Structure formats: structure tokens, C-alpha cells
Amino acid sequence: MSEREYQEGENQENNPQVQQSGGGSQAFCSKPREQSKAPNGQPFSSLQKMEAFRPLESGSMNVPQATWSAGKENINRTSSSGAAKRKNASQQTQPRRAGRFLRPGTPQNALPRFSSFRMEEDPQIQQDQPETQSQQQIIDMASSTTKTSWGTIHCLTIVGQVEGHQVLPPNNKTTKYEHVMPLLAAVEESEEVDGLLLLLNTVGGDIEAGLGIAELVAGMRKPTVSLVLGGGHSIGVPLAVSAKRSLIVPSAAMTIHPVRLNGLVIGVPQTFNYFERIQERIVQFVVHNSKVKREEFISLMLKTGELAADVGSVIYGEEAVRIGLIDRIGGLSDALDELYQMIQKK
């Protein structure tokens, strides 16, 4: 190959115009290719590559100039939106504290300070923990502990149906004795709790579970006050009288009826004797922990004609106080006053 032919081939390679392929044509940039790297030694970005191969004239490519400008704007828009997303993600990411995120608005100086042996938290965060624990206690155990200048009171609620040895359906509101019993023991042994306030709104439930809770409350040395709200029916009657002082609101009701049994009943004399023995346990407990007379209580329990489909009686606040079943009429403030007075005397 002569030197002239070699020079012509090199010029044709550096300045391509139009190449035919399969009857079609394809236009190439009239501007020669630039280096694969920028002058600073870094690789070209997508925008820089497009600038490097941009046509010198709008008519030298099949792609119109308007399309070229739109593509450039899309790259700029994509690049700016990606940077904005990364910036927002970095702002939303918050430092961790002991395995969980800090609350929004927490200052940076509230981060835990690490040492070689343990991690110390900010004192302000430690002060917020008792409030969180109290809220969680209300959710889990339906109870709360309140500390005032007159004393520290633990409030326990018994609502719905007292659950026994069988788990009730999930749509029933229940009080589980396996939760209440250890809680009562903890209140009795705690040096920080001075008294117990028992709030009742129950339809009754399992006899042995209800009597077990009532016996625990009656055996406590610390001051205890019960308040009947809405209703204290069936086994709720022993629970109401188990405290050292009992109160009832005027609109509350209490149902007194004989023992019932669900399921299979064997029609023999031993079954009815068993019912009488269980019923006697309830009568003895109520009479021992209240001022009601035994004969009057049994008369109310076996009364007929008052309940449409059952045997027994329904009494309300004033009548419960009149017969000596409950100590006095009162509301929440009265119950708290009674409890604080007992704490001061102790």
C-alpha cells in the first residue's frame, strides 16, 4: 500500500459521512471522537458523553435538534431528582439509640455515650421511661400505679367475665386470674405501693377463680377499697366485699343468685349436695366480709318471681347499702378519700 492510499484511508476513517447498509442509511457525527476520559483523568459522565458526540449542525443527524434538547433535559432532570432523593433519605435517616430510632426532634446531644464497659443514656430519656412503662402497664394488665403527696396507689380493674380454667372466646372481655393473682402478691410485697383501689364492672364468671381473687384481696395487710361501677353481678359480689372498705355508685346493680353449672349434669343427690357446698362457701365469705345478715342474703339468693328466667334478686346501690352488703354510696373521689385516710392512719 502506497503512502497516499494509507493517508486517504485514515482520513476516511476519521471523517465518515454516510455508510450504506441493506439499502438504508445511517448518519454519524461529523465531530471527531474525543478522548474516553476528561482532562482531569476521570471518566466522562452521561451528559459529558452526549456533549462529546453532539452534532455540529442540526441537519447532520437523522435525530432532530428538538429531540436532542429534550434528551439533555431528561438527563438533567433525572440527575437532579436522584440527588434530591439521596438528600431526603439522608435527612430522614435518624441515629439509633439502644436498638431503636430516636424520637423526632431529639437533639443530637441526646445520643448514648459509649464507654468500654457499658452504654450510658441521656438523663432526659431515662426520665421518659417510667411514663412509657405506666402506659404499657395499663394496656397489658388494666392497672396503673399513681404516686402523690398522700401516698402511692395501685388501681386494678376487674371487668367483663372472670375467666376460669378454660379460655373463653376472643370476642369476650375477660379478666384472667393468672394475671391478677401475681399482681396482687406484688402489690402486697412492694415497698413503694401504699394502697389498692379495686374498680369493678363485671358480669361474674368462674366461681373458683373469683373466690381465689377475693381471698387474696381480703388477706392483704395494706389498705384496700373497692368501687362498684355499672355492675357487680354473681361472683362480683364476693369481689366487691373483699376490700376493707366498699363503695357503690347509685346506678350500679348487683345480681345475687344460686350457683350455676354449665355442661353435663348428673341427676343424682350428690350433684345437688355439691352445689350446696359451693354455695355455702360464697355465703360464708360474703357474710364474713360485710355487714349483711346470713338469712337476708340467702333469701335474696333464693328469691323467685323477680327474675324472668332465673332464681335470685337484683339490688341497686342504695338497697345494697341498706342491707349492709356495701359500706356506703360514693364515687371515685369518695373511694380515693377513703383510701388516703386509711393510708394516713396506718
Number of domains making up the chain: 1
Asked if residue 63 belongs to a domain, the reply is: no
Instruction: Report in angstroms the alpha-carbon separations of 125 from 94, 103, 111, 117, 194.
Output: 16, 10, 10, 20, 28
Domain that holds residue 318: 130-345
Rounded-to-integer distance, Cα 234 and Cα 139, Å:
26
Which of the residue ranges 23-27, 126-130, 217-221 has the most confident prediction, judged by mean pLDDT?
217-221
pLDDT tens for 84-100 read 555 555 555 444 444 44
Amino acid at 286: V
Residue 108 CA from chain centroid, whole number: 28
Annotated catalytic residues are 234, 257
pLDDT by residue (tens digit) across 163-182? 988 888 888 888 988 899 99
| Cα distances (angstroms) measured from residue 16 to each of 23, 26, 29, 100, 275 | 18, 11, 8, 63, 110
pTM of the model: 0.60
Judge whether 150 lies within some domain. yes
* CATH code of the domain containing 167: 3.90.226.10
* Residues in CB range of 300: below 8 A, 6 or more apart: 256, 312, 313, 315, 323
- Residue 175 in domain: yes
- Bridge partners, residue 160, by sequence: 202
Quick check: is 149 in a domain?
A: yes
Would you say residue 62 has pLDDT above 70? no
In three-state secondary structure terms, 204 is strand
The DSSP 8-state label assigned to residue 108 in this structure reads: G
Report if residue 165 sits inside a domain: yes
Question: Residue 174 falls within a domain, yes or no?
Answer: yes
| In-domain check, residue 4 | no
Q: Is residue 125 part of a domain?
A: no
Q: Which of 44-53, 179-188, 190-199, 302-311 has the lowest mean pLDDT?
A: 44-53
Length of the chain: 346
pLDDT of residue 140: 57
Residue 20 exposed, middle or buried by CB count within 10 Å (0-12, 13-18, 19+): exposed
Q: Indicate if the pLDDT at residue 270 is higher than 70.
A: yes
Question: CA 339 from chain center: how many Å?
Answer: 30
Candidates 252, 243, 274; CA nearest to 261 is 274
Q: Can you read off the three cell numbers belonging to residue 262?
A: 354449665
